[in-house]
Amino acid sequence: MLLAIDVGNTNIVIGVFEDDKLFESWRLATDNKRSADEYGTIIHSMFGYAGVKSEDIDDVIISSVVPSLLFTLEHMCLKFFGLNPIVVEQGIKTGIRICYDDPRQVGSDRIVNSVAAHTRYGGNLIVIDFGTATTFSCVTAEGDFLGGAIAPGIKTQAAALFEHTAKLPNVDLEIPGSFICRNTSEAMRSGLVYGHMGFVEHMVKGMKEEMSASLGCTPDDIRVVATGGMATMVESGVSCIDVIDRRLTLDGLQMLHDKNKGLNKKRVLQD
């Protein structure tokens, strides 16, 4: 079995694959203060509920946008599974070409999502991940990662309003009933949710125009694939998203593992 760990700024998503099928997955809060022992204990507890044994894990792959947690999780893998994990970083085989000024600056989550979308859907793509940040990644049919854009996610925007204003409340994010609202909470939801929808439509339109001009295709030839916790909410108010794939990142980790088998070797820890 493969243990796949996707470390985001807000959540860590963990999946166990049996061959290429997702057996079970979990989500827990990202916490820099947790030790390797704590993370190992939590994962073993989740394994127990799902009937997974630690000795069933043959390989581990990690994608992390939180550098301070990477060492902790690598140590956890060694101590609890006796495995050196594959880490998504520069140098691993991806099957796509990073056309970035400095490829080291591309977040591993964007690489994983791009690999998964390119493998699963093919063609010219815009991949949007609605997480702590909303990221856009443009990938060609030939597998060239052209670049994209990064913006604050909806929850990040809401938290910023609450933290940096004296009177605005902390609101739950849901689709408001109208654009013009008669109370502060609904007005914030209108601005946050509908504003983000309009932002996404505008970004996709501009990206399609630039991609189609450079690739010699039409904007309609470019598909938009979305993932992340807020994808369904945003998709309900836009016309530019073609596919929502909630498992894109976990499945991308499984695909990358298949491309990089043998990079990690089992090691017995010494007392």
Catalytic positions: 109
Query: 176 in helix, strand or coil?
Result: coil
Please say whether the beta carbons of 13 and 29 come within 8 A.
no
- Distance, in Å, from the CA atom of 184 to the CA atom of 7, rounded to the nearest integer, reads 34
Q: Output the CA–CA distances (angstroms, integers) from residue 83 to 18, 61, 79, 238, in the order listed.
A: 17, 10, 8, 44
Helix/strand/coil for 264: coil
Q: Round to whole Å and give the CA distance between 269 and 40.
A: 15
The per-residue b/e assignment along 116-138, b for 16 or more CB within 10 angstroms, e otherwise, is bbbbbbeebbbbbbbbbbbbbbb
Cβ distance 223 to 121 under 8 Å? yes
d(CA 241, CA 133): 18
Task: Give the whole-angstrom CA distance, residue 80 versus residue 82.
Answer: 6
